[in-house]
Structure 1
Amino acid sequence: MYLFVRLSALCIALAFLNGCGRQDAPPLDQQLYVWQRQWTPAHEAALKDSRADFSTLRVLALQAFPQAGWSRARIDPALLKADGRPLIAVIRLDGQLKALNQDDVITQITQVISDWQAQGLTLAGVEIDHDAGNARLPAYREFLVHLRAALPASVALSITALPAWLDSSELPALLSTVDSSVLQVHAVSDPHRGLFDPDMARQWAKSWSRVTPKPFYLALPAYGVALLPSTSGAPIVESEVRIERGGERRELLADPQQLSQLGAQLRADAPPHLAGLIWFRLPLANDRRAWSLTTLRAVARGDALDSRLVLNLSAQQGLYDIGIRNEGNLDSAWPERLTLAVQGCEGADALAGYALQQTPDLLTFTRLRDGRIAAGEQRAIGWARCAKIDQGESHVHP
């Protein structure tokens, strides 16, 4: 008993220095997918503003589709070279491909590596993104063995992996062929059930850690999609590029609060071998279905999230431009309603997305459809020509 008390006291004393139980795990690495097929001038600012918070760029380089064949992403090598972060080329091999022609695929991949190197880019790794069904995992493993032999020794090999592979006895052998794996935990279930389930993501991560002795990452969503109806019953998924099709769109968006909570849980109790998180995708300024970079950085850092919508008025000779500004770090839905206390208004109107109701002393702008205002951004709501708008008595109703 005396020995137990002494050991307990010693443990409490040492806790202030080193901790008596499990040591604090190192912070989880934060990386980014750059998934745009056609790079634009907006990439320059997005790369610059993401540099402080995300260590590595995983860049879509090459895709293979049934019938359509091979397609290269049109990257900006000068921007990537100036950026200087470790660079991983991602090769997307569509899961609907009937088979992988090993020689052709390896030739295409090694040519991309050679071309990128000729443009002054140094590759840290190659990631293969192939949604193979469980029955095809043995053939996929054989392909990876041949690919590994064809890659330079300095280029690490990783794969994007699916939770469904946990049901296959072939998984350990498959993972033995690569240096690391990226477990995708978004957009892996029936779209009607949503993009992401944080509880399932944690469960899959724990199960994955028991299968692989090598580092693995979680691929997490920072984007949204729309589901469009189809005659077959299975929804059509619209992502970055608009699909010219009628019918009501059901918008799905990954919830930053959910992902922030998951990040905190993983930092506090990371499964063995979990090396970091990879966010899909680098948001550009005009990316209407991605979180803003401000929100993505806040979630990755573990910052408290807050959207603060404030009324934004600018006046010139009695003409007021009326808008809202998001002064928080969390993207927000458009406010449901704005009420403005006014005097002596000669005219007013709402802009697209809102309707106006007017009385002699009150303007009420009511939302007609859904929309988002990014953290740090502002949006025009309407205008009014009035003798006075009392901002202190005007309100934004979320």
Structure 2
Amino acid sequence: MRFIVGLFLGVLLAGCEQHVAPPLDQQLYVWQRQWTPAHEPALRDSHDDFSTLRVLALQAFPGERWRRARVDPALLKADGRPLIAVIRLDGQLQSLDQQQVTEQILQVIADWQAQGLTLNGIEIDHDAGNARLPVYAEFLKHLRAVLPPSLPLSITALPAWLDSAQLPALLRSVDSSVLQVHAVSDPRLGLFDPEQALKWAKAWARISDKPFYLALPAYGVALLSDDGGAPVVESEVQLERGGQRRELLADPQQLSQLAKTLREDPPEHLTGLIWFRLPLANDRRAWSLATLRAVARGDVLNSQLRLSFKEQGGLYDIQLDNRGNLDSPWPAQITLKARDCAGADALTGYSLQQSANLLTFTRLRDGRLPAGGQRAVGWARCAHIDQGGSHVDP
């Protein structure tokens, strides 16, 4: 009897263990065509939270134009994380020349290996319309045949492909897929919808029997009007044109909640999350790395705005600090109790109104203060500033 009970408990425990989902892998896209010294601290500080780097390597543009990304192989070798080279084939390409595209990809592989880099995979990023999926599927079948058998092949994928009968054939030639759930519809409606993203992920899991990832946004864009037509999108590269810009930013709180939901109840075959993109210190439209790491870890997010003062001989430099882990909009207004001020002024982005015992700094334009960042707001030459009497109005 004791043996039967023990056997029953063993079977029960084994069944329970089968339902324990492994933790979701967290990876990063490195999407800068020109590498700079800012990559070194960004790679170093992201190392412990993101397992794999998916690095933009090559882009094909309409008109048979190709552009290599100028990566820093020494930094990638020192970093040591698995590398996946991403080949971006513009969705507006008139056709896919199998031989030409394949030659370009094989050359990238050879060049990276010659620089001492070990590739752990190739990813093809091609936003093909549904009507062109049969041709794309044939290309992927051809590419899989010429790539080394040991080199995994993955593709980015669009939710629109869920409606195509060609999707199973497309997925047969690849080892995994990356479902892009950001900026896939009219950008005027926003960069990201967490409820829709979850629906797409569950629908993808019902079709794909292979590992797949979700590509999630950690960035913003600006929309520029184009004489009543579709808006022009400005992202990491500033466009040489004027006009009003409407800023859109993926909400870290929304992404954090979605990541939590996916960790607790992942769709079948979902292997991990890939964040777009590795933020550099001068990337004004990406989340700070501190915020991205906090979201990836599932930490509670909060901004902690504080004023700090540096005083020398009655001259105060007024600075705003964000001591939290969440990037914060510039506060709308900052008020300081001050006495006997001989002069004061605001710095870029703010205006100053001065009364007998009050300095009021008012925001003139939108901006963000990254987590862990500081920003000078203004200066004042006063007999005394009551630091306890300062107030920051979000």
TM-based fold match above 0.5 = yes
Moved more, 287-296 or 65-74: 65-74
For residues 195-214 of structure 1, the aligned pairs below 5 Å read: 195-214=191-210
Structure 2 counterpart SS, 1:262: helix
Question: Given the alignment of the two structures, is residue 76 of structure 1 paired with residue 72 of structure 2, yes or no?
Answer: yes
Question: Given the alignment of the two structures, is residue 154 of structure 1 paired with residue 136 of structure 2, yes or no?
Answer: no
Structure 2 counterpart SS, 1:196: coil
> What's the CA shift for 1:21?
8.9
- Alpha-carbon distance in 2 for matches of 1:68, 1:321: 54
Structure 2 counterpart SS, 1:384: strand
Deviation track 1:127-162 (CA, whole Å, cap 9, x = no partner) reads 000011111111111101111111112210000000
Q: What RMSD, in angstroms, separates the aligned Cα atoms of the two structures?
A: 1.7
Q: Could you say which residue in structure 1 is the equivalent of 2:216? A: 220
- Alpha-carbon distance in 2 for matches of 1:348, 1:18: 71
Q: Aligned letter for 1:289? A: R
Q: Could you say which residue in structure 2 is the equivalent of 1:315? A: 311
Q: Could you say which residue in structure 1 is the equivalent of 2:301? A: 305
Question: Given the alignment of the two structures, is residue 67 of structure 1 paired with residue 63 of structure 2, yes or no?
Answer: yes
Question: Given the alignment of the two structures, is residue 229 of structure 1 paired with residue 225 of structure 2, yes or no?
Answer: yes
> What's the CA shift for 1:23?
3.1
Question: Structure 1 pair 379/158, CA: closer, same or farther in 2 (3 Å)?
Answer: same
Q: Aligned letter for 1:51? A: H
Question: Given the alignment of the two structures, is residue 254 of structure 1 paired with residue 253 of structure 2, yes or no?
Answer: no
Structure 2 counterpart SS, 1:375: coil
Moved more, 17-26 or 309-318: 17-26
Structure 1 counterpart SS, 2:149: coil
Q: Please report the TM-score for the alignment, with normalisation by the length of structure 2.
A: 0.96
> What's the CA shift for 1:24?
2.9
> What's the CA shift for 1:309?
0.2
- Alpha-carbon distance in 2 for matches of 1:345, 1:18: 74
Deviation track 1:54-105 (CA, whole Å, cap 9, x = no partner) reads 0000000000000261000000000001100000000000011011000000
Q: Tell me which of 267, 272, 278 is aligned to 2:268.
A: 272
Question: Given the alignment of the two structures, is residue 381 of structure 1 paired with residue 393 of structure 2, yes or no?
Answer: no
Question: Structure 1 pair 22/340, CA: closer, same or farther in 2 (3 Å)?
Answer: farther
- Alpha-carbon distance in 1 for matches of 2:183, 2:157: 12
Q: Aligned letter for 2:274? A: I
Q: Could you say which residue in structure 2 is the equivalent of 1:296? A: 292
Structure 2 counterpart SS, 1:97: coil
- Alpha-carbon distance in 2 for matches of 1:337, 1:320: 18
Q: Could you say which residue in structure 2 is the equivalent of 1:99? A: 95
Q: Could you say which residue in structure 2 is the equivalent of 1:165? A: 161
Deviation track 1:150-199 (CA, whole Å, cap 9, x = no partner) reads 11122100000000000001101111110000000001000110111101
Deviation track 1:252-298 (CA, whole Å, cap 9, x = no partner) reads 00000000000010011100000000000000000000000000000
> What's the CA shift for 1:40?
0.3
Moved more, 308-317 or 289-298: 308-317
Question: Given the alignment of the two structures, is residue 128 of structure 1 paired with residue 124 of structure 2, yes or no?
Answer: yes
Question: Given the alignment of the two structures, is residue 90 of structure 1 paired with residue 86 of structure 2, yes or no?
Answer: yes
> What's the CA shift for 1:117?
0.1
Question: Given the alignment of the two structures, is residue 327 of structure 1 paired with residue 323 of structure 2, yes or no?
Answer: yes
**Which sections of structure 1, spanning at least 5 residues, go unmatched?**
1-6
> What's the CA shift for 1:232?
5.2
> What's the CA shift for 1:344?
1.4
> What's the CA shift for 1:246?
2.1
Aligned residues with identical type, % of pairs? 74
Deviation track 1:198-250 (CA, whole Å, cap 9, x = no partner) reads 01100000000000110000000000000000025100000111112222100
- Count residues with an aligned counterpart: 387
Q: Aligned letter for 2:232? A: I
- Alpha-carbon distance in 2 for matches of 1:86, 1:109: 18
Q: Aligned letter for 1:59? A: V
Question: Given the alignment of the two structures, is residue 58 of structure 1 paired with residue 66 of structure 2, yes or no?
Answer: no
Q: Extract structure 1 runs of 4+ deviating beyond 2 A.
A: 17-24
Q: Aligned letter for 1:325? A: D
Q: Could you say which residue in structure 1 is the equivalent of 2:360? A: 364
Deviation track 1:313-352 (CA, whole Å, cap 9, x = no partner) reads 1111111000100000000000111111111111000011
Structure 2 counterpart SS, 1:282: coil
- Alpha-carbon distance in 2 for matches of 1:32, 1:316: 44
Question: Structure 1 pair 174/338, CA: closer, same or farther in 2 (3 Å)?
Answer: same
Structure 2 counterpart SS, 1:381: strand
- Alpha-carbon distance in 1 for matches of 2:352, 2:358: 10
Question: Structure 1 pair 232/105, CA: closer, same or farther in 2 (3 Å)?
Answer: farther
Q: Could you say which residue in structure 2 is the equivalent of 1:4? A: none
- Alpha-carbon distance in 2 for matches of 1:187, 1:393: 44
> What's the CA shift for 1:20?
5.5
Question: Structure 1 pair 48/247, CA: closer, same or farther in 2 (3 Å)?
Answer: same
- Alpha-carbon distance in 2 for matches of 1:231, 1:19: 61
For residues 1-40 of structure 1, the aligned pairs below 5 Å read: 23-40=19-36
